[in-house]
Structure 1
Amino acid sequence: MYWWHKAAQETLAGRTRRFGFITTNSIKQTFNRRVVQSALDEGIYLIFAIPDHPWIDATECAAVRIAMTVGALPVEVCLHASPTPPAKPTSKIASKLAPTPSPTGRLYEVTREIPDEETGEHSIQLSCDLGKVHADLTTGTDSARISPLKANEGIAHMGMKLHGMGFMVSKDEAATLGLGKTSELSNHIHPYLNGRDLTNNSRDALVIDLFGLSAAEVRERFPKVYEHILRTVKPERDQNKRATYRDRWWVFAEPRPLMREALNGLKRFIGTTETAKHRLFSFISGSVMPDQKIRVVASDDAFLLGTLSSRPHLVWSSLQGSTLEDRPVYVNSTCFDPFPFPDCTEAQKGRIRKLAEEIDAHRKRAQAQHGLGLTDIYNVLEKLRAAAMLTAKDKVILDDALVSTLLHLHQELDAAVADAYGWPWPLTDEEILERVVALNAARAAEEEDGNVRWLRPEYQIPRQKEGKPKDQSELGLTDAAGSKPSSGKKERPAKPSPVGPQAAQPKIAWPKSLAERAKAVESALSAATVPVTPSELAQRFARAKPADVAEILDTLVALGRARAGDMQGTFVR
């Protein structure tokens, strides 16, 4: 995306009239989309786009998906058709939703692909839609201008990243290591679930979780476990480029302390597979340790499960998420954080909870009794929805999983969630997006005035009052060895700020455009006297998010304008 950004800047400077690129279809994904949005905010408009097109090269045996985009500056004749300028927005909500004058672009979608077996080429049929082309390469409702909501903060997380297959053990292996015999070992061996387990049938895998213990404590309290991890995990970790992964080899690479805190005390939570053909949310037992391929929603409320499983959220997440090949990818920051949940009566919530519990129990029963995977069940459900022909295998699944009943429950859930929003039903996908985007703007405006509709107020409000930090090191959960600091030891003197004398100065304003943010981050990194983390660098700016700084730093590394520091997660100029 560097050259896309560079070409947009050349066009804005008047040194060229338009530019075009063939890129991978990941241009629609979160970070790349921000590059495009930055150019649109500065005056570029997209006059031509194909978001997803096959790229076939029989000679090189290549078969990938690409996108095509053409950007240009507006010309006077293409500007707003009305002779009078649009009225100035009268409220915060209206300003967020107000249309901006823009020329018409052409958005082409591939409607049919016909491969030629002799040449390997594909004959493509396209449909064309005229309108303003947004940064996500769609027309219609502009969902690129949505805001994350405080109401959803601290609820959605990514599961554990192990980086060591030796952490996973069978029941027999766990028994050999002392499970059931060694005191307190049951606190450190848990059921483990990955994305395939969630959508198909669980392997009944267990995982050794030593988070919160030092290596010495593991060796003294659980010698067999220490020996096992020493043999099966440490050799792999010794080869890892990240210093903390190497040094803290007995602990998961990413132990997710914030997720642990959010799940503490919950008997169940909500999970969905990161990448899946069908976007399905399920309740997971609180005793389970989720893998990194599971997106975790830290709530035991079936009202949230029902809303997430309903058509409004599914339409929203399919647009806001990413894609891997042709499968949707659920991204917490764009799918969950900005999504406005309905603010409704207890009776409406009760109806949604009842239907969500029924759907979850129905699916689990079919999986347990017939060994069916959720993907197979929902393949049949979607065929029923489309009134498509069923195969013999489909008919068996239809009968075993009672798929017609499951479809009926989903239809009732969709209607119940629409009623909770106060919307008519049914709605088209575009009408759903219009309403969700409008509601996001309304909620964001409310939150600016201090009115936050928390999802878990009993958990979120105390954290906000405490000013709970987001960085693991700031939480005080672990020291360099991965164990909680002992209160009996003297505290070490505070080390100098990594950003040197500048840390005492007023914070720098966080620029609005991506290009200016990149310059500001590079400048701050150059001024740092030691390697810094994205969180530390973000503290130099007012309202900068560590995640945004991290993405810019990763881009600077890719461009050769920064490099990774010696310690995991740090950067230097």
Structure 2
Amino acid sequence: MSEDEASLYEKPFEHVTARVKPTRVHLRREWHRTHWWCFGDPRPALKRSVHGIGRFITTPMVAKHRVFTWLPEKQIPENLCVAIIRADDTTFGILHSRFHELWSLGLCTFLGVGNDPRYTPSSTFETFPFPEGLTPADTRGQPQAEGEVQLPPVAADYLPAAHAIAAAAQRLHSLRENWLNPAEWVERVPEVVAGYPERILAKPEYAAELKKRTLTNLYNARPAWLDNAHKALDLAVAKAYGWQDYSAEMSDEEILRRLLTLNLARSQ
């Protein structure tokens, strides 16, 4: 709302004028300086980017584990999250592979008391050598539905690899969601406003236990089913690279050597 409209809420406006305005007027971001009474930037560019694609990929900028998840297009992430404007399971799978994780760990910075890795798009995402035909340039556009997975609009030659990665990624995501929100533990309530995702409410008898079910806790434990799902995804991505000799025993050093070779070849 405008400053004039906001001032009609007299007491809150007085509080914001006294406490918030002094912290905003010297900020570099123009929107925050000129709209100091507003809670935050509505991010119009991000909203335009995600409009119509249904969902997009996001990852926390600083985290112990490099995990990616989906957000509905209606939900704008916090400022310390990285938004990747793709709606297909193939891109999700490549990003969640061992190969991208190793690359991002090798080129990231570290922050915080726990020295957690910081995912910096310019050095980790933009430099990562995606499999041929499945790069961000190739997967730009609306996703194409096929069966239970969402495929990117790539050339026909790359569809088998795209589908294999997408299927493995969709299975990984489904298994994780079933663990995070078991059907018998929660109720899904339609949102009041149409077009928004359902609210997930814990049943009272499971509320305490459900609070412990976070992606961080899941990856700290890394149960066998999660490890197996990731290994299946890694194998599908490795085949997209043409690495027929890949196995889970391949060293991190060898994987990074191959990725660097591909990165250097494409930069020429």
Query: Normalised by the size of structure 2, how large is the TM-score?
Result: 0.70
CA contact (8 A) 2:7 2:13 kept: no
Q: Deviations over 1:19-77 (max 9, x none)?
A: xxxxxxxxxxxxxxxxxxxxxxxxxxxxxxxxxxxxxxxxxxxxxxxxxxxxxxxxxxx
Relative distance call for 1:233 and 1:341 in structure 2 (3 A) is: farther
Return the letter of the residue paired with 1:304.
Answer: T
Matches within 5 A, 1:343-382: 343-344=132-133, 345-369=158-182, 371=210, 372-381=213-222
CA drift of 1:314 comes to: 0.3
User: Distance between the aligned counterparts of 1:248 and 1:379, measured in 2?
Assistant: 41
Matches within 5 A, 1:343-422: 343-344=132-133, 345-369=158-182, 371=210, 372-381=213-222, 403-422=223-242
Partner SS for 1:342 = coil
Residue 262 (structure 1) aligned with residue 49 (structure 2) = yes
Residue 337 (structure 1) aligned with residue 150 (structure 2) = no
CA drift of 1:422 comes to: 0.8
Relative distance call for 1:270 and 1:232 in structure 2 (3 A) is: farther
CA contact (8 A) 1:310 1:417 kept: yes
Relative distance call for 1:233 and 1:419 in structure 2 (3 A) is: farther
CA contact (8 A) 1:316 1:335 kept: yes
Q: Residue 246 of structure 2 aligns with which residue?
A: 425
Q: Pick the aligned partner of 1:442 from 233, 250, 265.
A: 265
CA contact (8 A) 1:239 1:246 kept: no
User: Distance between the aligned counterparts of 1:232 and 1:348, measured in 2?
Assistant: 56
Q: Residue 282 of structure 1 aligns with which residue?
A: 69
Q: Residue 19 of structure 2 aligns with which residue?
A: 236
Partner SS for 1:295 = strand
Larger radius of gyration between Structure 1 and Structure 2: 1
CA drift of 1:418 comes to: 0.6
CA contact (8 A) 2:89 2:169 kept: yes
Show structure 1 runs of 5+ residues with no match. 1-212, 382-402, 446-573
Tell me the percent identity. 32
Matches within 5 A, 1:99-114: none
User: Distance between the aligned counterparts of 1:229 and 1:442, measured in 2?
Assistant: 58
CA drift of 1:228 comes to: 8.0
Relative distance call for 1:252 and 1:377 in structure 2 (3 A) is: same
CA drift of 1:334 comes to: 0.5
Q: Deviations over 1:470-519 (max 9, x none)?
A: xxxxxxxxxxxxxxxxxxxxxxxxxxxxxxxxxxxxxxxxxxxxxxxxxx
Q: Residue 499 of structure 1 aligns with which residue?
A: none
Return the letter of the residue paired with 1:215.
Answer: E
Matches within 5 A, 1:116-131: none
CA drift of 1:443 comes to: 2.3
User: Distance between the aligned counterparts of 1:321 and 1:254, measured in 2?
Assistant: 27
Relative distance call for 1:228 and 1:358 in structure 2 (3 A) is: farther
Return the letter of the residue paired with 1:419.
Answer: K
Return the letter of the residue paired with 1:328.
Answer: P
CA drift of 1:366 comes to: 1.2
CA contact (8 A) 1:237 1:246 kept: no
Relative distance call for 1:215 and 1:264 in structure 2 (3 A) is: farther
Matches within 5 A, 1:448-467: none
Partner SS for 1:323 = strand
Show structure 2 runs of 5+ residues with no match. 134-157, 183-208
Residue 323 (structure 1) aligned with residue 110 (structure 2) = yes
CA contact (8 A) 1:271 1:294 kept: yes
Q: Residue 138 of structure 2 aligns with which residue?
A: none
Relative distance call for 1:255 and 1:242 in structure 2 (3 A) is: farther
Relative distance call for 1:233 and 1:350 in structure 2 (3 A) is: farther
